[in-house]
Structure 1
Amino acid sequence: MQVVDPHIHLWDLSTHHYPWLANPQTSFVGDARDLQHDYLLADLLRDAEDVEILKLVHVDANHDPADPVEETRWLQGIADREGMPNGIVAGADLSADNAQHVLEAHAAFANTRGIRQILNVHDDKLYDYVGRHYMREPQWRKNFGLLKRYGLSFDLQLYPAQMEEAALLAREHADTQFIVNHAGMFVDRDSTSGFRAWRDGMRLLAACPNVAVKLSGFAMFDHDWTIESLRPYVHETIDTFGSERAMFASNFPVDRLFGTYPALWNAYARIVGGASDSEIEALFVRNAERIYRI
């Protein structure tokens, strides 16, 4: 099986600071103590086993917020030596006074393609990441407009309750590519209203032609996942966005807590086994290449 994996993380704890790994906690995602070790390109390629990784996109690993550009510098060095990662989605705080300087510094590296700033807000503290509604802050919105200047996409990590606001943002910035992370992070799974909020929010986002989606991160909410437990969310997401704006991704090594790399990709392949050859190529390779320009 050949894949382009558009959502992986690498870290070197001996040379870089990741606050969440310096003081790991147990959360809905799993036990971060099990991730408190170096995870380098060689580790990922070893985990891949017989899955042939053609290209990779690295998404910010919540590196030291005092120096987000250092992560990009480090990753570009790896790419220059090893040929991967082919694309870098860097971290930046768009609410900060120095946001333009940080974006300019990231954009100076050849493999930088976009920015991710985690936006997840939830009433339940178990699921709340950031505790503030960045999309409602004037300075954040002003700095968001700088992405177009530097030719950067935006990885959109949020919850269904935030999708209506995000769709408005996407329409306001129609020339910026948005990529929804982890199939919209459907967290409120215990009620029909939770499913409806996810489904309707995803449809609002998909109505914006500049929004794509990554089919990834399912294990964060489904630790005992099976092909059948993933199938309805994968099918619903592809049906909503179409096979030309959806792409499978591993979210490794986070999803490694709940399964192997080959098991995950083979599950994806089984779930869409009835698709055409062109659709399979789009979902596993071509869309990630096109959307991340790699």
Structure 2
Amino acid sequence: MKPVPTIDAHHHIWRLGDLPWLSGPQVPRIFGPYAPICRDYPIEEYRDDIKSCDVVKSVYVQTNWPAGKSYDEALWVQSVIDATGWPHANVAHADLADEDAPALIARLAKLPATRGIRQQLHWHEKAQYRFAPRPDVMNDAAWRRGLAALADHGLLFEIQVFTSQMADGARLARAYPDIVFVLEHAGMLEDTSASGVRLWREGMRALADCPNVNVKLSGLGTFVHECRAELMKFVIGETVAIFGADRCCYGSNFPIEKLWTDYKTLYRTFRSTIATFSDREQAAILHDTAARLYRI
């Protein structure tokens, strides 16, 4: 297959001073020790990382600035875009349970690059894997009122959940058919035992039954802390079989994955795992789905 112009639908850039979770004392994280990335990761370094990887556009995803600073983060990202032309779209943050969430979303939507919102909802019995305070935040009436505001501005929602939360996620997607959902990190398969894979498949099928749910094939080294071709091939193959290539897109999760690999290795490994798909399916995963979802 000829080189396909690729869209990286999930990466981060950051300034260390704006990220207390990086600049303060290290606490256990889902991706393990992270001292090497406790520094600025500017757009110039990201663009150097993607050299020779056919990446022509990218999507920034929020990095959890301090509470109350969601608009400041989005404004900073917009300033980087205005100055450099990269990235090409922004997924901002909002606490959808906040009574002022609709007003914040309206302000965010006025920034040219804003395409969606991410609020990390993933909860796990293991404290290191946990981000949300409890597993069912998405069921709260106040939170759902905030989510509903996305439809008013044509913004998508990036949903990040574990297997045990997927049934709730499917119910949420069915309740809001006018909102596009993008499932983060291919459903975050952390339990690769036979029973763990079975439950993950069931949850993924429930989500796939909702036509407004799409999947980002990103963060596939999160739980093994390495770029592992066989795991990547398995997760991608299963996910594409369930959702179809037209609802799947590539994402690097850089610089998090830079903790254990370089961009070229990640990208070439990803490309090798999808080499058995048709040219049309590969083009969808690498470019077309992300171009549609993020309007770039």
* TM-score of the pair, normalised by structure 2: 0.95
SS class of match (1:113):
strand
Query: How far 1:224 sits from its partner (Å)?
Result: 3.2
Give the structure 1 partner of residue 47 of structure 2.
45
| Paired amino acid for 1:81 | A
Query: How far 1:251 sits from its partner (Å)?
Result: 0.3
Give the structure 2 partner of residue 179 of structure 1.
182
Correspondence 1:217 to 2:214: no
SS class of match (1:220):
coil
* 1:143 maps to which of 134, 142, 146: 146
Residues 93-108 of structure 1 mapped to structure 2, 5 A cutoff? 93-108=95-110
SS class of match (1:58):
strand
Give the structure 2 partner of residue 200 of structure 1.
202
Give the structure 2 partner of residue 128 of structure 1.
130
Q: Is the 8 A contact 2:92 2:114 kept in 1?
A: yes
| Paired amino acid for 1:212 | N
Q: Following the alignment from structure 2 to structure 1, what is the Cα–Cα distance between the partners of residues 78 and 72? A: 10
Give the structure 2 partner of residue 256 of structure 1.
258
* 2:229 maps to which of 227, 231, 235: 227
Q: Following the alignment from structure 1 to structure 2, what is the Cα–Cα distance between the partners of residues 49 and 215? A: 20
Q: Following the alignment from structure 2 to structure 1, what is the Cα–Cα distance between the partners of residues 51 and 154? A: 35
Q: Is the 8 A contact 2:28 2:128 kept in 1?
A: no
Query: How far 1:136 sits from its partner (Å)?
Result: 2.1
| Paired amino acid for 2:40 | D
* 1:237 maps to which of 230, 236, 239: 239
SS class of match (1:291):
helix
Q: Is the 8 A contact 1:25 1:33 kept in 2?
A: no
Correspondence 1:55 to 2:88: no
Superposed CA offset, 1:66-96 (max 9, x none):
2100111011111112112111000110011
Q: Which moved more, 1:191-200 or 1:164-173?
A: 191-200
* 2:160 maps to which of 142, 154, 157: 157
Q: Following the alignment from structure 2 to structure 1, what is the Cα–Cα distance between the partners of residues 243 and 260? A: 27
Q: Following the alignment from structure 1 to structure 2, what is the Cα–Cα distance between the partners of residues 19 and 105? A: 24
| Paired amino acid for 2:133 | G
Superposed CA offset, 1:100-153 (max 9, x none):
121111111001000000001112212111222211211001211111012110
Give the structure 2 partner of residue 21 of structure 1.
22
Query: How far 1:188 sits from its partner (Å)?
Result: 2.2
* Structure 2 residue ranges without an equivalent (≥5): none
Query: How far 1:41 sits from its partner (Å)?
Result: 0.7
Query: How far 1:25 sits from its partner (Å)?
Result: 2.5
Q: Following the alignment from structure 1 to structure 2, what is the Cα–Cα distance between the partners of residues 238 and 157? A: 18
Q: Which moved more, 1:209-218 or 1:94-103?
A: 94-103
* Structure 1 residue ranges without an equivalent (≥5): none
Give the structure 2 partner of residue 3 of structure 1.
6
Q: Percent identity?
A: 36
- The count of corresponding residues between Structure 1 and Structure 2 is 291
CA RMSD between the two structures:
1.2
Q: Following the alignment from structure 1 to structure 2, what is the Cα–Cα distance between the partners of residues 22 and 91? A: 20
Give the structure 1 partner of residue 294 of structure 2.
292
Q: Following the alignment from structure 2 to structure 1, what is the Cα–Cα distance between the partners of residues 60 and 11? A: 5
* TM-score of the pair, normalised by structure 1: 0.96
> In 2 relative to 1, CA 225–78 (structure 1 residues): closer, same or farther, beyond 3 Å?
closer
Q: Which moved more, 1:172-181 or 1:218-227?
A: 218-227
